[in-house]
Structure 1
Amino acid sequence: MAIGTQDDTEFVHFWNTVLEPKFTKYRHILQGGLSRHSAAVLPKLGIKRGMSVLDVGCGWGDLSLQVAEIVGPEGRVLGIDCVEAFLDPARADAAAQGYSNVEFKRGDAEIALPERAFDYVVARFGTMFFANPVAGLRHMRLALKPGGTMTHIVWRTKADNPAWHGPEEITLRHLPPPGANADTCGPGPFSMSNQTTVGLMMKSAGYEDVSFARVDAKIMVGTTPEECIAYALALGPAGEVFREAGALAEARRPEIEADMRAFFEAQERDEKGIWLGTSSWVITARNPG
């Protein structure tokens, strides 16, 4: 059952039709990389046994299951995501791992969430895509019980994230940037990179005691240079540039791939794959009531 009854927004439709197959194809890269940021802070959060927790933009549910372990059978976890295809694997993993205290539903935090129902709300790399960030953040606050806490993780600036910025710079050497009417996933992964701006958003959404903590982590961006290139041209800033350039991108693919190969071959590498740096903000705040 979906949370909220309104029709999907254009951004939600884009996620379910264009991006979902690409995300699913590269789940092993995405989930492994994103989890390094949440793993760095999860033990430090105030999530305790018996709590009720909402995971917004839960994806394939790995963070939801980690939280379910923390809150124990006395607690409960609800994971929501606007992409239906992510939720069946999440449910399957929960069943396989024996978690009966976690549930997954399709939902859009910008439209509706349960109110005054949770002790803690978490979101890992999802709030940056809100078309109306203050509205989405406010719904997350209203989902909290009075005095409850929200933590969301977002990317810092492109310059702080060579894993995404390096491939984009290479692609833009050969192709024009996406136009104003480009099909996109919303404001984009770096829309909450500015601490001052996001602090104002949080206060506008009604939060108090807003704090920021920085997490730096190298992530695996592909097992081989070939997979790194395919991944970069499918998702993220470079993927958006490539997708929107259409036939021109395909015509210039050999030069783009050659430059990307040189870039990825110069990075740190081990038996698992090729690693590049990323940097995030972990933003925590309280619902005053």
Structure 2
Amino acid sequence: MPDTPPLPTHDWNGDSGMRWAANLARLDLMLEDFGNAALAAANAQPGEHILDIGCGSGTSTFPLAEKAGTDGHVLGVDISQQLVEIARAASPAGAPVEFRCADAATAPLPAAGFDLLFSRFGVMFFDDPVAAFTHMRGALKPGGRLAFVCWRGAQENDWVRLPMAAIRDIVEPAPTDPNAPGPFAFGDRQRVADILAAAGFAAIDVAPFDTTLAYGRGATREGAIDDALDMAFQVGPLSRALADQPDDIRARAADAVRAAFAKRPGETSVQIDGAAWIVTAHN
């Protein structure tokens, strides 16, 4: 499956972080069903203390805070300063939330300080996932819970499969390591379970979650396809595959990707298939 190498961690405070921030509305629409499924699996309770790993702009942090209530507290951590600043600015006055720019894999965390560790697509980028989850488990109370959503394989997700397949005869795919840090590092179900077991978690469950997601948006079908194409060029593997390509190659790629999106249904957005794991475990 054509793809590109994963983003270096520092890039989340550079161009890629800026692109993600600029596309928040589109990305939240795309990820909405996955986030809601993960929140339901997490089942946050009033009074709980929660760590939101890779919180981004706070899209999952604020619903967690609503569940935790005034007697609870949610700490959102993310490596992107741009996204943390957006989250802080959006935080309602008096909400039981705090945002910190930090890497949850290594950041100082209170020992046995949380009832729940949660993440919406924020745990697939760790250089050493066993060490990262071991570190975070140390911040979980005895009997505490872990819940996160992560992507399955690239071949199962049309937001990658469609554009990358469309350009395979235009741009030579870069070699990749499927287990390298990146969006699809947790695509293998058994690998996810093995990582969590090695980190000391128990009662591990890795359940498939499939949905038809809305990619891009527009007042008309043509507008939606145009917006989907623009989004693919700004964030994700296609944007990285074409980053250093000349204008003629980018133009050919745009035509090919637009044709691929045009084959999918949808009037105000392009409807494509998405596939993830909903993962739960206990300390």
* TM-score when normalising by structure 2: 0.89
Q: Is the 8 A contact 1:68 1:99 kept in 2?
A: no
Q: For 2:175 and 2:209, how far apart are their aligned partners in 1?
A: 32
| 1:179 shift after superposition | 5.6
- Matched AA of 1:69: E
- Matched AA of 2:183: P
Check if 1:88 corresponds to 2:82: no
Q: Is the 8 A contact 1:12 1:83 kept in 2?
A: no
Q: For 1:203 and 1:252, how far apart are their aligned partners in 2?
A: 45
Deviations 1:134-176 (A, max 9, x none): 1221122111111111111100112221122111111222112
Q: Is the 8 A contact 1:35 1:63 kept in 2?
A: no
- Matched AA of 1:206: G
| 1:42 shift after superposition | 1.9
By percentage of residues, which structure has more helix?
Answer: 1
Q: For 2:144 and 2:209, how far apart are their aligned partners in 1?
A: 23
Mark the runs of 5 or more structure 1 residues left unpaired by the alignment: 1-9, 181-185
Q: For 2:270 and 2:87, how far apart are their aligned partners in 1?
A: 27
Partner of 2:245: 247
RMSD: 1.9
Q: Is the 8 A contact 1:68 1:101 kept in 2?
A: yes
Identity %: 29
Q: Is the 8 A contact 1:55 1:79 kept in 2?
A: yes
Q: How many pairs are equivalent?
A: 268
Check if 1:129 corresponds to 2:125: yes
- Matched AA of 2:98: E
Q: Is the 8 A contact 1:170 1:256 kept in 2?
A: yes
- Matched AA of 1:167: P
| 1:12 shift after superposition | 2.7
Q: For 2:103 and 2:22, how far apart are their aligned partners in 1?
A: 23
| 1:99 shift after superposition | 4.5
Worse-matched range after superposition: 231-240 or 138-147: 231-240
Deviations 1:90-140 (A, max 9, x none): 122212xx4420111111022224131100000110111112111221122
Deviations 1:208-238 (A, max 9, x none): 1110122112222112222212221222222
Partner of 1:282: 278
Check if 1:219 corresponds to 2:213: yes
Written as runs of structure 1 = structure 2, the 5 A alignment for 1:91-170 is 91-95=88-92, 98-114=93-109, 115-170=111-166
- The residue matched to 1:173 in structure 2 has which SS? coil
Q: For 1:255 and 1:19, how far apart are their aligned partners in 2?
A: 23
- Matched AA of 1:119: D
Q: Is the 8 A contact 1:171 1:242 kept in 2?
A: no
Aligned with residue 17 of structure 1, among 14, 30, 33:
14
Partner of 1:200: 194
Deviations 1:226-280 (A, max 9, x none): 221222122222222212xx134x3312211111111111112123x22211011
Q: For 1:149 and 1:71, how far apart are their aligned partners in 2?
A: 14
Check if 1:52 corresponds to 2:49: yes
Partner of 2:221: none
Mark the runs of 5 or more structure 2 residues left unpaired by the alignment: 1-6, 218-223
Partner of 1:229: 229
